[in-house]
């Protein structure tokens, strides 16, 4: 059975075809070891399609939709153009690996493309993320996009888990530090 993985980056969606499953098997540990070696991982995963987002606002809207488990028209057209057709009444001979199972359910309902999200797929996507700049050799970020990213558009969408993590690791220690510092200063003034 053929396998594809869909990766979303800040610059666009990408579809990768997974070729060398015979070489590494569907063993998560084997994928972990192959990820570190680009020459080996590059034989396993090959870029099929990469349409960049049109603007920073479009990127933000696409990422918001994906995080909510909604398939956008752009994602649907990317999948329909670059994946094998699903014949009605027949079992598909491929599957699509995704990081978001909720999105996979929506894609399956709308297009009948079988989706999977498991530890094996997440390891493949980790490798894609690690080597993404090497897969997209000709990607150059225009200056106006880099200004938006520097201005905060690129980080204006925290997921709930990321937000909690930021609060726990940054905000709470800052508040505790401020309380201790102010208490210590008052104590020194009284002495």
Average pLDDT over residues 72-91: 88
Please name which of 41, 40, 36, 44 lies closest in space to residue 17, comparing C-alpha atoms. Answer: 44
Give the model's confidence band at 77: pLDDT under 50 very low, under 70 low, under 90 confident, else very high: very high
Pairing of strands 45-49, 115-116: unpaired
Which tokens in the block code for residue 56? 């920073």
Q: Out of 12-16, 46-50, 181-185, pick the least confident.
A: 181-185
Residue 167 has pLDDT above 90, yes or no: no
Please name which of 73, 55, 47, 46 lies closest in space to residue 12, comparing C-alpha atoms. Answer: 55
Give the model's confidence band at 183: pLDDT under 50 very low, under 70 low, under 90 confident, else very high: confident
Residue with the bigger pLDDT between 173 and 106: it is 106
Residue with the bigger pLDDT between 90 and 148: it is 90
Give the model's confidence band at 139: pLDDT under 50 very low, under 70 low, under 90 confident, else very high: low
What is the rounded average pLDDT for all residues in the chain?
78
Give the model's confidence band at 15: pLDDT under 50 very low, under 70 low, under 90 confident, else very high: very high
Give the E-state strand segments of 63-143 in sequence order: 94-97, 115-116
Collapsing DSSP to helix, strand or coil, 4 comes out as strand
Average pLDDT over residues 22-49: 74
Architecture of domain 2-157: 2-Layer Sandwich (3.30)
Please name which of 180, 4, 18, 163 lies closest in space to residue 81, comparing C-alpha atoms. Answer: 4
Domain ranges of the chain: 2-157, 158-191
């Amino acid at each position: 059975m053929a396998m594809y993985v869909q990766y979303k980056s800040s610059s666009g969606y990408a579809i990768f075809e997974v070729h060398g499953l015979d070489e590494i098997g569907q063993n998560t540990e084997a994928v972990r070891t192959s990820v570190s070696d680009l020459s080996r991982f590059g034989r396993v995963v090959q870029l099929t399609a990469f349409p960049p987002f049109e603007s920073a606002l479009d990127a933000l809207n696409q990422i918001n939709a994906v995080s909510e488990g909604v398939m956008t028209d752009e994602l649907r057209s990317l999948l329909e153009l670059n994946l094998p057709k699903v014949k009605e009444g027949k079992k598909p001979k491929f599957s699509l690996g995704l990081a978001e199972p909720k999105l996979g359910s929506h894609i399956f309902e709308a297009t009948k493309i079988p989706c999977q999200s498991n530890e094996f797929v997440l390891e493949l996507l980790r490798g894609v993320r690690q080597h993404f700049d090497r897969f997209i050799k000709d990607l150059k970020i225009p200056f106006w996009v880099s200004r938006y990213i520097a201005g905060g558009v690129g980080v204006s969408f925290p997921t709930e888990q990321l937000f909690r993590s930021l609060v726990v690791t940054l905000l709470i220690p800052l508040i505790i530090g401020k309380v201790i510092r102010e208490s210590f200063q008052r104590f020194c003034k009284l002495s």
